[in-house]
Structure 1
Amino acid sequence: MLSEKQKNEVLKLISYKQEGAYWDFKKQWYEDGKQADLLHDIICMANNLENRDAYIIIGIDEEKDYCVNDLTNSADRKTTQMLVDFLRNKKFMGGIKPHVMVEPLQLENGVIDVIIVKNGYYTPYVLEENYRSVNANNIYTRIMDSNTPKNKTAEISHIEYLWKKRFRLLDTSLERAFFYLKSKEDWLDVEDNSSMIRKYYKYAPEYIIEHCECDDRDGYEYYLFSQMDSRPHWHNIYIRYHQTTLFSTIGIALDGGRYFTNVPWTGFLFEGLNEKNISFKFMVNDTKEMILHEFLCDNESHEALSARGKFEECILIFFSEEEKEDFKKYAADKWIERQKYLEDEQLPYMKLPKSYRQDAFKEEYENAIVLRKMLKEYRKCKNRDFENIS
């Protein structure tokens, strides 16, 4: 399903009443004799120069002031799986194909379909074997509202741009650092007498990640009590390029140091100022924080993996920022039922210094349990909704 953000973006593009560098309009789906046009359009959009997702919006009649051409009864409509199967049979260089999805969108005057061509780094997408009139080895892209003609190839400056994108030469130093962190096996220890734990990226040793104990922090967080050893051990984490700090955050050594990770973000369930607002700890997939979380885990240690599992049972991990915001609405509506989610739940023993309010940590831990259960429930509901639409 299209997210609210995507829906609003598609509606905004339709309102422009013109095509652009990453969107195209079609009155109807491609007929059997137009499959080469479909492939060509997908490749051009995958190689767009805007470095973003692209849209082929089907069901918009340009000749009638961009009004909706209802696709409800169209025999040529395709699903995501049908498009994936269509691309699977085409021979792309390196076997790397564009990632596409088809999402229907119900508008006031009928249904349209949106082909989402996902942004990827493996540009340029190029055929290694002709498909009808789409030529092998030609590099196609899209400039303004026009695709590269099938019998031509893109200009050299545009081809250079697409190769630079593949090799991450268009990324900032910070973006490149986190791309390198995804290849954990390519980071090596720095051998020195420093108290810091330090690693460098072997193919670009100017990139360094390091962490050391934090001298000015000794407080507790509720998720510490999920561990056998709940004592806090805080660290400072730095990602550096040469001598420049690109990114810094707080780290925590859990279970007496058996597992080390970066701290999660803090979110709030209700919008606006609210004395009784409910806070929660979370991470979001594919973000810098989640990449770092994966990098820091010692996957060779059973103790570390066990401690990680207990830690992740106390926080929320979202698939996307959109899911987080949608879930917050769901949980806020259900919060009046909080107590039922705590039936038969037992909290861990919490040993705290006398200066701390144990009831506050207990409440936070209970809230984490409730929200984790609500998130599972929310995802089941979303899956049922998706199956009903399908």
Structure 2
Amino acid sequence: MLSELQKEEILELISLKQEGAYWDFKKEWYEEGKQPDLLHDIICMSNNLENRDAYIIIGIDEENDYCVNDMTNAENRKSTQMLVDFVRNKKFAGGIRPRVMVETMQLETGTIDIIVIKNGYSTPYVLEESYRGVNANNIYTRVMDSNTPKNKTAEISQIEYLWKKRFRLLMAPLEQVFYFLLKREEWEDVPDDSSVTRMYYKYSPEYVIEYAGCDDRDGYVYYLFSQTDSRPHWYNIYVKYHQTILFSTIGVGLDGGRYFTNVPCTDFLFDDWHHEGNISFKYYVKGTKEMILHDFFCDYDSHDAMYARDRFEECILIFVSDTEKENFKDYAASKWSKRQDYLEDVRLPRMELPGVYREDAFKEEYENALVLKKMLDEYRTY
């Protein structure tokens, strides 16, 4: 579904009354005989030089002052699934295809469709087998408002750009290091007798991650009690480029140090900060820096570490996207008055705390985490 920001952007592009480097206008959907043009346009847009999502906006009549040509009952109209199947049936090099979807947008004067070609790092997208005049091995792109002709290939400078994009050479250091962190096997330990643990990326050793004990933090958090040894062990984590700190967070040693990870993020169930008894929860979102680090630190070869990780994740929420998190918050907030119903079969671990702590507060937080886990499972099957 198009976000409000994307809708505003498309309206702005239409108002420009000209095509550009990542958007194109079509009066109507591609006829059967124009399927090669559809494939060619998708490939050019997927290889755009703007490093962003691209749009083929269908239902805009360029020859009639860019007015809307309503698509409600249009012939040859395609759904997302139909377009995905169309692309899937073409043989791309390496089996790597552009990601496409069809979105519909209602304007005052009619309905338009938008083919959204998602930005990706697998450029250049190239056919392995020709399709009706769209040539195999030709690298197509889009410059300004023009596609590379079907019988030609992009200029060498444009091809170099697309390969640099694939290898993440166009990224800023912060983005690049988190791409490198996806490849745990390519990081090496730095032999050091100090209390600081350091690792570097062996193909670009200027990228370093290090962590050391945190002297000014010694408190408890509810998820510590998911472990056999619940004593707190806190660390400072730094992700560096040369001596510049690109990213920092807190680390935690769980179960007496058998498992190490970065702490999860915190959010609140109710967006109204004045809501009485607002409920906090701990979470990761897949694909984010926090989740990448969480996976990076996992020692998959250690049975003890994996056991500790499993126990930890039993009381932490893990979302597939920020959108899922926000939608789930609405769902859980609507169900929260029935919290007690979700406590059936909930078992809390034993909690041993120094006398200055309120045990009931930690028990409530732990209960809330388990209730939210149940709600998340329910939400995903809702």
TM-score norm. by structure 2 comes to 0.90
Q: Tell me the equivalent position of 2:25.
A: 25
Separation in structure 1 between the aligned mates of residue 378 and residue 194 of structure 2, nearest angstrom: 48
**Distance apart, 1:121 and its partner CA:** 1.1
Match of 2:224 in 1: 224
The structure-2 alpha-carbon separation of the partners of 1:17 and 1:285, relative to structure 1 and needing over 3 Å to count, comes to: farther
| Paired position in structure 1 for 2:198 | 198
- Report the counterpart of residue 387 of structure 1 in structure 2: none
CA-CA distance at 1:261 after TM superposition:
0.7
Q: Which residue of 1 aligns with 2:364?
A: 363
Aligned to 2:56: 56
Give the residue type in structure 2 aligned to 1:354.
G
Taking a change above 3 Å as real, the CA distance of residues 13 and 322 of structure 1, as seen in their structure-2 partners, is farther
Residue aligning to 1:386: none
Q: Distance in 2 between matches of 1:282 and 1:139?
A: 42
Indicate the residue corresponding to 1:352 in structure 2: 353
Query: What SS is found at the alignment partner of 1:256?
Result: coil
Counterparts of residues 310-325 of structure 1 (less than 5 Å): 310-325=311-326
Displacement, 1:54? 1.7
**1:94-133 counterparts in 2 under 5 A?**
94-105=94-105, 112-133=112-133
Quick one: distance in 1 between partners of 2:322 and 2:7? Answer: 15
Superposed, which structure 2 residues align to 1:116-265 within 5 Å? 116-265=116-265
Q: CA RMSD in A?
A: 2.4
Residues 348/323 of structure 1: CA separation in 2 closer, same or farther (3 Å cut): same
Q: 1:14 to 1:247 in 2, by over 3 A?
A: same
Whole-angstrom distance in 1 between the partners of 2:228 and 2:211: 23
Aligned-pair distance for 1:111? 5.2
Instruction: Name which of structure 1's ranges 337-346 and 110-119 shifts more when overlaid on structure 2.
Output: 110-119
| 1:301-351 deviation line (CA, Å, top 9, x unaligned) | 222222212211212111111222222222222222222222332222221
What do residues 123-162 of structure 1 show as CA deviations (whole Å, max 9, x unaligned)? Answer: 1222344322223333222233332232333333333321
Q: CA deviation at 1:36?
A: 0.9
Looking at structure 2, the residues matched to 333 and 13 of structure 1 have their Cα atoms a distance apart, in angstroms, of 38
CA distance in 2, matches of 1:375, 1:7: 30
User: Quick one: distance in 2 between partners of 1:288 and 1:144?
Assistant: 34
Bigger drift between 90-99 and 42-51 goes to 90-99
Q: Tell me whether 244-253 or 139-148 shows the greater mean CA deviation.
A: 139-148
Counterparts in 2 of 1:161 and 1:352: CA distance versus 1, 3 Å: same
Following superposition, the deviation at residue 64 of structure 1 comes to: 5.0
Return the alpha-carbon distance in structure 1 between the equivalents of residues 15 and 227 of structure 2: 54
Per-residue CA distance 1:182-222 (angstroms, 9 max, x = gap): 11111122222122222221212222222222111111111
CA distance, structure 2, for counterparts of residue 253 and residue 321 of structure 1: 27
Kept in 2: contact 1:168–1:176 (CA 8 A): yes
Q: Distance in 2 between matches of 1:259 and 1:272?
A: 36
Partner in structure 1 of residue 299 of structure 2: 298
Q: Tell me the SS of whatever aligns to 2:248.
A: strand
Aligned mates of 2:331, 2:244 — CA distance in 1: 42
Please say which of residues 185-194 and 53-62 is displaced more in the overlay: 53-62
SS in 2 for 1:322: helix
**What is the rounded CA distance, in whole Å, between the counterparts of 1:374 and 1:263 in structure 2?**
22
Alignment partners' CA distance in 2, 1:11 and 1:285: 31
How much does 1:17 deviate?
4.8
| Equivalent residues in 2 for 1:269-308, closer than 5 Å | 269-274=269-274, 276-308=277-309
Structure 1 residue 44, shift from structure 2 partner: 1.0
Gaps in structure 1 of 5+ consecutive residues:
382-390
Cα distance in 2 for partners of 1:289, 1:237 equals 11
Residue in structure 2 matched with residue 384 of structure 1 by the alignment: none
Paired AA for residue 366 in structure 1: E
Deviations 1:208-264 (A, max 9, x none): 222222111111111111112111111111222222222211111111112111001
Residue 55 of structure 1, CA deviation? 2.1
Cα distance in 2 for partners of 1:253, 1:335 equals 32
* Structure 1, 272-281 or 177-186: larger mean CA deviation: 272-281
Residues 369 and 68 of structure 1: CA distance in aligned 2, closer, same or farther (over 3 Å)? farther
CA contact (8 A) 1:3 1:322 kept: no
Aligned-partner Cα distance in 1 for 2:128–2:349: 59
How far apart, in 1, do the equivalents of 2:59 and 2:359 lie? 59
Structure 1 range deviating more: 145-154 or 201-210: 145-154
What percentage of aligned pairs have identical amino acids? 73
Q: Distance in 1 between matches of 2:62 and 2:268?
A: 44
* Matched residues, number: 381
TM-score, normalised relative to structure 1:
0.89
Change (3 A) 1:11 1:374: farther
In the alignment, residue 242 of structure 1 is paired with which amino acid? H
Between the aligned partners of 1:60 and 1:232, the Cα distance in structure 2 is 61
With over 3 angstroms needed to count, the CA separation of the structure-2 counterparts of 1:236 and 1:379, relative to structure 1, is same
| Partner amino acid, structure 2, of 1:147 | N
Cα deviation for residue 80 of structure 1 reads 3.5
